[in-house]
Structure 1
Amino acid sequence: MDSEEILNAKPEGLTRIAEMVGIADNPEMGFFLLYIIVVILTVIVFQLGFARKLPLLKMLIVYIALLVGSVILTFLAMFIPIAEGLIVAAIVLIIYRIRLHQTKKKEQSSK
Protein backbone atom coordinates (compact mmCIF):
# COMPACT_ATOMS: atom_id res chain seq x y z
CA MET A 1 0.00 0.00 0.00
CA ASP A 2 1.26 3.43 -0.79
CA SER A 3 0.77 6.45 1.42
CA GLU A 4 -2.15 7.78 -0.68
CA GLU A 5 -4.16 4.60 -0.11
CA ILE A 6 -3.45 4.74 3.61
CA LEU A 7 -4.60 8.34 3.89
CA ASN A 8 -7.82 7.66 1.97
CA ALA A 9 -8.66 4.37 3.67
CA LYS A 10 -12.13 4.05 5.16
CA PRO A 11 -12.43 2.61 8.67
CA GLU A 12 -13.99 -0.83 8.79
CA GLY A 13 -16.53 -2.15 11.25
CA LEU A 14 -18.48 1.06 11.83
CA THR A 15 -22.07 0.73 12.99
CA ARG A 16 -24.88 1.87 10.70
CA ILE A 17 -25.56 5.05 12.65
CA ALA A 18 -21.84 5.88 12.71
CA GLU A 19 -21.80 5.46 8.95
CA MET A 20 -24.97 7.55 8.56
CA VAL A 21 -23.50 10.52 10.43
CA GLY A 22 -20.38 10.33 8.29
CA ILE A 23 -17.63 9.43 10.73
CA ALA A 24 -15.60 7.92 7.87
CA ASP A 25 -15.79 11.08 5.75
CA ASN A 26 -15.60 13.81 8.40
CA PRO A 27 -14.55 12.33 11.76
CA GLU A 28 -14.94 15.49 13.85
CA MET A 29 -18.44 16.39 12.66
CA GLY A 30 -19.49 12.74 12.58
CA PHE A 31 -18.34 12.18 16.15
CA PHE A 32 -20.17 15.32 17.29
CA LEU A 33 -23.39 14.22 15.57
CA LEU A 34 -23.07 10.72 17.00
CA TYR A 35 -22.52 12.26 20.46
CA ILE A 36 -25.68 14.35 20.10
CA ILE A 37 -27.66 11.26 19.03
CA VAL A 38 -26.33 9.23 21.97
CA VAL A 39 -27.10 12.04 24.45
CA ILE A 40 -30.66 12.47 23.17
CA LEU A 41 -31.34 8.74 23.25
CA THR A 42 -29.77 8.38 26.70
CA VAL A 43 -31.91 11.21 28.08
CA ILE A 44 -35.04 9.66 26.57
CA VAL A 45 -34.26 6.23 28.02
CA PHE A 46 -33.40 7.77 31.40
CA GLN A 47 -36.62 9.80 31.49
CA LEU A 48 -38.81 6.89 30.44
CA GLY A 49 -37.27 4.25 32.64
CA PHE A 50 -35.38 5.63 35.59
CA ALA A 51 -36.12 9.29 36.34
CA ARG A 52 -37.57 10.24 39.70
CA LYS A 53 -38.55 13.57 41.15
CA LEU A 54 -35.29 15.05 42.44
CA PRO A 55 -34.25 18.42 43.79
CA LEU A 56 -32.72 20.72 41.18
CA LEU A 57 -29.08 20.26 42.26
CA LYS A 58 -29.31 16.47 42.33
CA MET A 59 -31.01 16.47 38.93
CA LEU A 60 -28.24 18.69 37.56
CA ILE A 61 -25.58 16.29 38.88
CA VAL A 62 -27.38 13.33 37.28
CA TYR A 63 -27.53 15.05 33.90
CA ILE A 64 -23.87 16.13 34.06
CA ALA A 65 -22.92 12.52 34.79
CA LEU A 66 -25.13 11.46 31.90
CA LEU A 67 -23.37 13.90 29.54
CA VAL A 68 -19.91 12.73 30.64
CA GLY A 69 -20.91 9.08 30.37
CA SER A 70 -22.26 9.71 26.89
CA VAL A 71 -18.75 10.58 25.71
CA ILE A 72 -17.61 7.07 26.61
CA LEU A 73 -20.73 5.59 25.02
CA THR A 74 -20.05 7.59 21.85
CA PHE A 75 -16.55 6.13 21.52
CA LEU A 76 -18.09 2.67 21.87
CA ALA A 77 -20.98 3.56 19.53
CA MET A 78 -18.62 3.86 16.59
CA PHE A 79 -17.95 0.11 16.58
CA ILE A 80 -20.57 -1.42 18.91
CA PRO A 81 -24.30 -0.80 18.29
CA ILE A 82 -24.85 1.40 21.36
CA ALA A 83 -27.14 3.93 19.63
CA GLU A 84 -29.14 1.15 18.04
CA GLY A 85 -29.55 -0.48 21.46
CA LEU A 86 -30.69 2.81 22.94
CA ILE A 87 -33.29 3.12 20.17
CA VAL A 88 -34.62 -0.35 20.98
CA ALA A 89 -34.65 0.45 24.71
CA ALA A 90 -36.55 3.68 24.08
CA ILE A 91 -39.14 1.87 21.95
CA VAL A 92 -39.65 -0.82 24.59
CA LEU A 93 -40.01 1.79 27.35
CA ILE A 94 -42.44 3.84 25.27
CA ILE A 95 -44.59 0.76 24.69
CA TYR A 96 -44.42 -0.05 28.40
CA ARG A 97 -45.48 3.48 29.35
CA ILE A 98 -48.39 3.43 26.90
CA ARG A 99 -49.60 0.06 28.17
CA LEU A 100 -49.22 1.20 31.80
CA HIS A 101 -51.21 4.35 31.07
CA GLN A 102 -53.95 2.33 29.36
CA THR A 103 -54.13 -0.11 32.27
CA LYS A 104 -54.41 2.69 34.83
CA LYS A 105 -57.06 4.41 32.76
CA LYS A 106 -59.04 1.19 32.47
CA GLU A 107 -58.80 0.57 36.25
CA GLN A 108 -60.02 4.08 37.02
CA SER A 109 -62.97 3.80 34.67
CA SER A 110 -64.03 0.44 36.15
CA LYS A 111 -64.20 1.83 39.69
Structure 2
Amino acid sequence: MKATTIIEVPTDLWPIADLFFQGMGSEVNLNDEGEVALLFRSFFMLYLITVVLAIITFKLGFARKLPLIKNIVVYTVLIIGTFLLTLILGLNLPIAESLVVAALILGIYRFRLHKERSGRQQEQT
Protein backbone atom coordinates (compact mmCIF):
# COMPACT_ATOMS: atom_id res chain seq x y z
CA MET A 1 0.00 0.00 0.00
CA LYS A 2 1.22 3.48 -0.87
CA ALA A 3 1.92 5.86 1.99
CA THR A 4 0.44 9.29 1.48
CA THR A 5 2.60 12.21 2.36
CA ILE A 6 0.73 15.39 3.11
CA ILE A 7 2.08 18.88 3.74
CA GLU A 8 -0.12 21.38 5.53
CA VAL A 9 -0.41 24.80 3.89
CA PRO A 10 -1.13 27.67 6.28
CA THR A 11 -4.46 29.35 5.66
CA ASP A 12 -3.61 32.68 7.32
CA LEU A 13 -1.08 33.92 4.78
CA TRP A 14 -0.09 37.51 4.06
CA PRO A 15 -1.87 39.06 1.04
CA ILE A 16 0.77 38.54 -1.66
CA ALA A 17 1.53 34.96 -0.59
CA ASP A 18 -2.20 34.29 -0.29
CA LEU A 19 -2.66 35.51 -3.86
CA PHE A 20 -0.44 32.70 -5.15
CA PHE A 21 -1.40 29.95 -2.70
CA GLN A 22 -5.17 30.53 -2.57
CA GLY A 23 -6.24 27.59 -4.77
CA MET A 24 -4.36 24.98 -2.76
CA GLY A 25 -6.59 24.35 0.23
CA SER A 26 -5.17 23.52 3.64
CA GLU A 27 -2.99 20.55 2.63
CA VAL A 28 -1.01 19.27 -0.33
CA ASN A 29 -0.71 15.58 -1.19
CA LEU A 30 2.86 14.98 -2.36
CA ASN A 31 1.80 11.88 -4.27
CA ASP A 32 -0.45 13.96 -6.56
CA GLU A 33 1.67 15.51 -9.32
CA GLY A 34 -0.87 18.24 -10.01
CA GLU A 35 -0.85 19.47 -6.43
CA VAL A 36 2.95 19.35 -6.25
CA ALA A 37 3.22 21.31 -9.50
CA LEU A 38 0.78 23.91 -8.15
CA LEU A 39 2.84 24.15 -4.93
CA PHE A 40 6.11 24.69 -6.84
CA ARG A 41 4.50 27.18 -9.23
CA SER A 42 3.03 29.17 -6.36
CA PHE A 43 6.35 29.24 -4.49
CA PHE A 44 8.23 30.21 -7.67
CA MET A 45 5.83 33.08 -8.36
CA LEU A 46 6.18 34.34 -4.78
CA TYR A 47 9.97 34.05 -5.15
CA LEU A 48 9.99 35.99 -8.45
CA ILE A 49 7.86 38.78 -6.99
CA THR A 50 10.20 38.98 -4.00
CA VAL A 51 13.29 39.09 -6.23
CA VAL A 52 11.84 41.82 -8.46
CA LEU A 53 10.84 43.91 -5.45
CA ALA A 54 14.25 43.40 -3.83
CA ILE A 55 16.01 44.52 -7.02
CA ILE A 56 13.78 47.60 -7.32
CA THR A 57 14.41 48.46 -3.66
CA PHE A 58 18.14 47.99 -4.11
CA LYS A 59 18.21 50.19 -7.23
CA LEU A 60 16.20 52.94 -5.53
CA GLY A 61 18.11 52.77 -2.25
CA PHE A 62 21.66 52.69 -3.54
CA ALA A 63 22.33 55.33 -6.17
CA ARG A 64 26.05 54.66 -6.64
CA LYS A 65 27.14 53.05 -9.85
CA LEU A 66 29.11 49.85 -9.29
CA PRO A 67 31.59 48.17 -11.62
CA LEU A 68 30.25 45.21 -13.59
CA ILE A 69 31.89 42.48 -11.47
CA LYS A 70 30.62 44.03 -8.22
CA ASN A 71 27.16 44.34 -9.76
CA ILE A 72 27.19 40.65 -10.68
CA VAL A 73 28.29 39.68 -7.16
CA VAL A 74 25.66 41.91 -5.52
CA TYR A 75 22.81 40.60 -7.66
CA THR A 76 23.93 36.98 -7.26
CA VAL A 77 23.97 37.32 -3.47
CA LEU A 78 20.63 39.16 -3.63
CA ILE A 79 19.03 36.37 -5.66
CA ILE A 80 20.41 33.59 -3.43
CA GLY A 81 19.52 35.45 -0.23
CA THR A 82 16.02 36.17 -1.49
CA PHE A 83 15.55 32.48 -2.25
CA LEU A 84 16.57 31.51 1.26
CA LEU A 85 14.35 34.17 2.84
CA THR A 86 11.38 33.17 0.71
CA LEU A 87 11.93 29.48 1.41
CA ILE A 88 12.29 29.86 5.17
CA LEU A 89 10.11 32.88 5.99
CA GLY A 90 8.08 33.65 2.87
CA LEU A 91 4.81 32.25 4.14
CA ASN A 92 5.16 33.37 7.75
CA LEU A 93 6.36 36.96 7.40
CA PRO A 94 5.27 39.79 5.06
CA ILE A 95 8.54 39.95 3.11
CA ALA A 96 6.99 40.92 -0.24
CA GLU A 97 4.66 43.42 1.41
CA SER A 98 7.59 45.02 3.26
CA LEU A 99 9.52 45.31 0.01
CA VAL A 100 6.52 47.00 -1.65
CA VAL A 101 6.40 49.58 1.16
CA ALA A 102 10.18 50.11 1.02
CA ALA A 103 10.11 50.54 -2.77
CA LEU A 104 7.26 53.06 -2.52
CA ILE A 105 9.00 55.10 0.17
CA LEU A 106 12.32 55.08 -1.70
CA GLY A 107 10.55 55.90 -4.97
CA ILE A 108 8.83 58.90 -3.43
CA TYR A 109 12.12 60.01 -1.88
CA ARG A 110 13.97 59.72 -5.20
CA PHE A 111 11.20 61.57 -7.04
CA ARG A 112 11.25 64.44 -4.53
CA LEU A 113 15.05 64.56 -4.62
CA HIS A 114 14.99 64.74 -8.43
CA LYS A 115 12.32 67.46 -8.33
CA GLU A 116 14.32 69.47 -5.78
CA ARG A 117 17.54 69.17 -7.78
CA SER A 118 15.87 70.26 -11.00
CA GLY A 119 14.31 73.22 -9.15
CA ARG A 120 17.73 74.28 -7.86
CA GLN A 121 19.22 73.94 -11.32
CA GLN A 122 16.52 76.17 -12.81
CA GLU A 123 17.11 78.81 -10.14
CA GLN A 124 20.83 78.92 -10.94
CA THR A 125 20.25 79.51 -14.67
Q: With structure 1 as the length reference, what TM-score do the two structures score?
A: 0.86
- Deviation by residue 1:46-76 (Cα, 9 ceiling, x = unmatched): 0000252111111101000000001122121
- Which of the two has greater helix per residue? 1
Structure 2 unpaired stretches of 5+: 25-37
Select 2:68's aligned residue among 56, 65, 71. 56
- Which of the two has greater strand per residue? 2
Q: Give the greater-gyration-radius structure (CA).
A: 2
Partner of 1:16: 15
Q: With structure 2 as the length reference, what TM-score do the two structures score?
A: 0.77
Higher relative contact order (CA 8 A, sep 6+): 1
Partner of 1:42: 54
1:32 and 2:77 matched? no
What is the Cα-based RMSD across aligned positions, in Å?
Answer: 2.2
Structure 1 unpaired stretches of 5+: 1-5
Write the distance in 1 (CA, Å) between the matches of 2:98 and 2:20: 17
In the alignment of these two chains, the number of paired residues is 107
The alpha-carbon deviation at position 93 of structure 1 amounts to 0.5
Moved over 4 A (4+): 6-10
